[in-house]
């Protein structure tokens, strides 16, 4: 019996690597506050059984929809623009990118082909130029603190310091009290800090405290991946950072994920 079990274990990874990857789950869009929608796109990674979800925001305004981050790839970005047209009867007038990783910029080409303005910080624009040389340049319009007004909608973009990535920013909708933390914030079910390839573990805790102090009234906190919640997600991310510091071997927490 034991041998049979051991043989199964030895064979399992090869079985997984063999067949072509299954189709991705359909793009999901869910309302989290009036005029604010979280969309979730998916990507498969070799050796990871479940597709990896990533969250972005769509905000309906009187001047058209604002998109925060693109889906993982062009196809899901097309689907998202179609959803905005079919369900909100609007067009995306402006897109904002919260850092230069694929789960944030994978659909840039689609936006640029439709002549949708894409704003980012100067650092993100520079990094996108280096990492994705084929992409059209982003408009480096976002300062460390930027307030965007579209009709009655207010949207604040804020750089709290390096954390998950050197250039990560967060987005805040003061009327709806929705905080888009992006990859700086982990979901409640997360037991690790995610991809640390470009993380700054020394400065992440301070960046997180800055976000906590600035947005204590957040009703909905949206992480870059997984289920959204309240400000408890910020406390949970803080716990994970403390755990990583205690272990002093954060690489043990690495995942081949975004």
As a whole number of angstroms, the distance between CA 47 and CA 17 comes to 7
What's the min distance (Å) between Cβ of 165 and Zn ion? 5
Residue by residue, what is the 3-state secondary structure of 114-165? Answer: CCCEEECCHHHHHHHHHHCCCCCCCECCCCCEEEEEECCEEEEEECCCCCCC
Q: Which stretch binds Zn ion (CB under 5 A): 95-103, 200-208, 212-220, 245-253?
A: 95-103
- The active-site residue out of 55, 99, 167, 236 is 99
Q: Is 103 a catalytic residue?
A: yes
3-state secondary structure at position 14 = helix
Q: Which stretch binds Zn ion (CB under 5 A): 26-34, 81-89, 94-102, 140-148?
A: 94-102
Nearest to 168 by CA among 134, 197, 144, 202: 144
Sign of CA dihedral 251, 184, 242, 192: negative
- The active-site residue out of 103, 167, 225, 236 is 103
- Select 79 or 124, whichever has its Cβ closest to Zn ion: 124
What's the min distance (Å) between Cβ of 84 and Zn ion? 24
Q: Rounded to a whole number, what is the distance in angstroms from the first to the last CA of the chain?
A: 39
- Select 60 or 101, whichever has its Cβ closest to Zn ion: 101
3-state secondary structure at position 242 = helix
- The active-site residue out of 35, 167, 168, 195 is 195
- Select 58 or 165, whichever has its Cβ closest to Zn ion: 165
Q: Is 227 exposed, middle or buried (0-12, 13-18, 19+ CB in 10 A)?
A: middle
What's the min distance (Å) between Cβ of 121 and Zn ion? 14
Q: Which stretch binds Zn ion (CB under 5 A): 47-55, 79-87, 107-115, 180-188?
A: 180-188
Q: Is 225 a catalytic residue?
A: no
Q: Which stretch binds Zn ion (CB under 5 A): 4-12, 18-26, 81-89, 98-106?
A: 98-106
As a whole number of angstroms, the distance between CA 254 and CA 217 comes to 32
The single residue among 116, 170, 183, 240 that binds Zn ion, judged by CB under 5 A, is 183
As a whole number of angstroms, the distance between CA 173 and CA 147 comes to 10
The single residue among 53, 61, 96, 101 that binds Zn ion, judged by CB under 5 A, is 101
Q: Is 168 a catalytic residue?
A: no
Q: Could you tell me the two tokens for 58?
A: 């769509």
Interacting residues with Zn ion (CB under 5 A): 101, 183
Catalytic positions, written as ranges: 99, 101, 103, 164, 195
């Amino acid at each position: 019996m034991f041998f049979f079990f051991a043989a199964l274990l030895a064979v399992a990874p090869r079985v997984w690597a063999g067949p072509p990857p299954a189709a991705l789950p359909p793009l999901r869009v869910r309302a989290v506050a009036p005029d604010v929608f979280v969309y979730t796109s998916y990507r498969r990674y070799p050796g990871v059984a479940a597709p990896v979800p990533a969250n972005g925001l769509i905000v309906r305004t009187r001047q058209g929809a604002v998109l925060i981050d693109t889906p993982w790839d062009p196809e899901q970005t097309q689907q998202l623009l179609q959803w905005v047209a079919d369900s909100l009867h609007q067009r995306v007038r402006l897109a904002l990118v919260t850092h230069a990783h694929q789960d944030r910029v994978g659909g840039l080409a689609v936006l640029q082909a439709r002549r949708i303005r894409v704003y980012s910080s100067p650092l993100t624009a520079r990094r996108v130029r280096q990492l994705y040389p084929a992409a059209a340049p982003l408009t480096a319009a976002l300062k460390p603190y930027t307030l965007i007004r579209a009709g009655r909608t207010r949207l604040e973009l804020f750089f709290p310091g390096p954390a998950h990535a050197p250039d990560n920013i967060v987005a805040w909708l003061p009327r709806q009290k929705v905080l888009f933390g992006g990859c700086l914030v982990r979901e409640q079910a997360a037991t690790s800090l995610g991809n640390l390839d470009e993380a700054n573990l020394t400065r992440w805790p301070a960046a997180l405290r800055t976000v906590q102090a600035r947005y204590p009234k957040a009703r909905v906190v949206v992480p870059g991946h997984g289920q959204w919640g309240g400000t408890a997600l910020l406390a949970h991310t803080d716990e994970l950072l403390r755990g990583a510091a205690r272990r002093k071997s954060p690489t043990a927490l690495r995942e081949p994920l975004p």
